[in-house]
Amino acid sequence: MMHAMTCVCGSGKSYDDCCGPLLARARQAQSPEALMRSRYAAYVLKDFDYIVETTDPDTTALFDHDANRAWMEQSTFVDLLVLASSEKGSRGNVEFVARFSRNGTDQTHHEHSQFRKHKGRWYFSGGETAG
């Protein structure tokens, strides 16, 4: 019998109580942070469709999905640290650091992401890399 898998997003919860039901499309993220964590989990588990599905339909055309998918496939994700998250009405922000390795080189991605609630669902609407 296997022990419950700890969620890959680093929340400390079990996968089944965290990002699992979201990636299974059994339920939707209840907060910008939950959505951000599930998108990280989707990168780890190479579920690129989830990334597309959770990108704001109003801004999805701005994203280079092919480049993003290639980046995902060439990267090994190490861990995620959520530094701050907030939500107000239909807007949310999450600041995070994700560590990954690519071509054997460890890298850090520090980002301020914006989220928007649209028809009752949270979507990723954009992000800026933090210096």
Of 13 and 60, the one with the shorter C-beta distance to Zn ion is 13
Of 60 and 78, the one with the shorter C-beta distance to Zn ion is 78
Buried residues in 22-42 as b, exposed as e (16+ CB within 10 A)? bbeeeeebebbbbbbbbbbbb
Considering the rule CB under 5 A, would residue 22 count as an interface residue with Zn ion? no
- Tell me the closest approach of the beta carbon of residue 64 to Zn ion, in angstroms: 26
Considering the rule CB under 5 A, would residue 80 count as an interface residue with Zn ion? no
Number of residues counted as binding Zn ion (CB under 5 A):
6
Helix (H, G, I), strand (E, B), or coil: what is residue 106? strand
Alpha carbon distance 39, 27 (integer Å): 14
Among 37, 39, 116, 117, binds Zn ion (CB under 5 A): 37
- Tell me the closest approach of the beta carbon of residue 37 to Zn ion, in angstroms: 5
Of 19 and 51, the one with the shorter C-beta distance to Zn ion is 19
Alpha carbon distance 101, 72 (integer Å): 11
Among 11, 55, 75, 85, binds Zn ion (CB under 5 A): 11
Considering the rule CB under 5 A, would residue 9 count as an interface residue with Zn ion? yes
Q: Are 18 and 9 in contact (CB under 8 A)?
A: yes
Question: What sign does the CA torsion over 34, 48, 104, 67 have?
Answer: negative
Q: Which residues of this protein are in contact with Zn ion, per CB under 5 A?
A: 7, 9, 11, 18-19, 37
